[in-house]
Amino acid sequence: MADVTAPGLHHFSLQERDVLQALSRVKARDVDYADIYFESNISESVSMEEGIVKRAVKHIGQGAGVRATAGEKTGFAYSDDLSRKDLEIAADTARYIANSPQGETPIAVTHRADHSQNLYPQKQPVSEIATEERVKLLNLIDAAAREYDPRIAKVMASFTTEHKVVMVANSDGQLVGDVQPLSRLQVTCIAEEGSNHQVGSFGGGGRVEFSYYYEDDRVRQYAREAARQAILNLQAVDAPAGVMPVVLGNGWPGILLHEAIGHGLEADFNRRKTSAFSDLIGQRVASEVCTIVDDGTLPFRRGSLNMDDEGTPTSQTMLIEKGILRGYITDRLNAKLLGIPLTGNGRREDFRSIVLPRMTNTFMLAGESDPEDIVRSVKKGLYAVSFGGGQVDITNGKFVFSASEAYLIEDGKVTKPVKGATLIGSGPDILKQVSMVGHDLQLDAGIGTCGKEGQSVPVGVGLPTLRIDEITVGGTSVGR
């Protein structure tokens, strides 16, 4: 296996003395902490529509972000030129923004962190796969989707890869790096039957090798799943509306957990007391069958990292244990200011972005109920299997999510597919309405991307089948 955890400064054509000199300039008298984040990134994307390659893009970039923190203040500057002069200019700018006077604090590297975890070993980086092989993959997708049903009128597919090399040097004397591969295969199908047009989407990926997409016939499974959803929606009836029990399917429906609850557990919102979960550690915030974790240590997962973007190893963080709030998701700054443990969740989109506490893989642990018993417990309600877009207000946890695949539950049985269903509620309230949790925990296939303050980072979600006793369903068929 290739060693993906030990890139050197030579990768960035830098000498250690140049980095230490820049750090010394930013770590002035009133600066509590300083770091420099180096990044080199090669990203490629090939997309196909109607059997024709419509777009092929390759982007190569590198740069460094310099940060200084003083109390609650953060000074940040970046440069896409890694010369010694530009690093020193960025260092002076970050120090100035943090409102610290000029002056140098000598810094030496006292420890080079060796990762105790290697979550995504690669024999061949996926970024090295030739364009011809990428196109071949997309052709297989196109053919498999059209074979599923003649009503599949259009097929769109894309394959995106990223090869990111990062290093962090900080004023604590730490120098640590990582190589972070990432890829995603996405399929969208449009089914037509007369004037009825419906869409189905599916995809997957992670920090995996290219062979992953051929293992277990995944490439065709992705295509057939997208086609199945599109065909299914041709027969969908109008969704019911009103307050009713809802059963969430396992896997991707965990996106509702991520948005409606996960963001409210990020430490910056709680430090500012703008979260619905502020000052509630040790208190009951959910029913006793709910246990929720954030885990950045799962091998090959899209949201996993050997280290976060501050050089801290990722970990499994208990957020809610049997309904009791146990902790928040933290980066260095917010952990220090709140006086709570550092969890390894300091993340940024790229070297141009400041660090924020962000989720990695966030999911509810399995319970004890049989998924079939959960469905049988509902006389009249909704079974939501997959979700599309949604909106959340972090301050109160209120959300609106649209279900891309959902069914009626009638007399304990899953019956007709429905369209136009939305779930409306509050994250904290919904957690208290969870009465049954299945033993069938499943993580999503690897397509999640999370947005926060204009930054996007890859994440994972997961969920067992669960029952929410009461939630408002928005639909077009009142009183069904």
Q: Where along the chain do its domains lie?
A: 9-234, 238-478
Per-residue confidence (pLDDT) for residue 464, from 0 to 100: 98
CB 161 within 8 A of CB 43: yes
> Could you name the CATH architecture of 9-234?
2-Layer Sandwich (3.30)
Residues of the chain with pLDDT > 70, as a percent, come to 95
Residue 30's Cβ-count burial label (10 Å; 0-12, 13-18, 19+) is middle
Backbone angles phi, psi at 69, to 5 degrees: -120, 140
Per-residue confidence (pLDDT) for residue 393, from 0 to 100: 85
- Residue 275 clears pLDDT 50, i.e. is over it: yes
- Residue 465 clears pLDDT 80, i.e. is over it: yes
Per-residue confidence (pLDDT) for residue 4, from 0 to 100: 39
List pLDDT tens digits, range 362-379: 999 999 999 999 999 999
- Give the lowest-confidence range in 104-113, 224-233, 338-347: 104-113
Per-residue confidence (pLDDT) for residue 117, from 0 to 100: 75
Per-residue confidence (pLDDT) for residue 1, from 0 to 100: 32
List pLDDT tens digits, range 141-171: 999 999 999 999 999 999 999 999 999 999 9
Using a cut of 0.85, tell me whether the model's pTM lies above it: yes
CB 170 within 8 A of CB 152: no
Per-residue confidence (pLDDT) for residue 116, from 0 to 100: 62
Q: In sequence order, what DSSP letters do the residues of 174-234 get, joined into one string? A: EEEEEEEEEEEEEEEEEEEETTEEEEEEEEEEES--GGGGTGGGHHHHHHHHHHHHHHHHH
Residue 115's pLDDT band (cuts 50, 70, 90): low
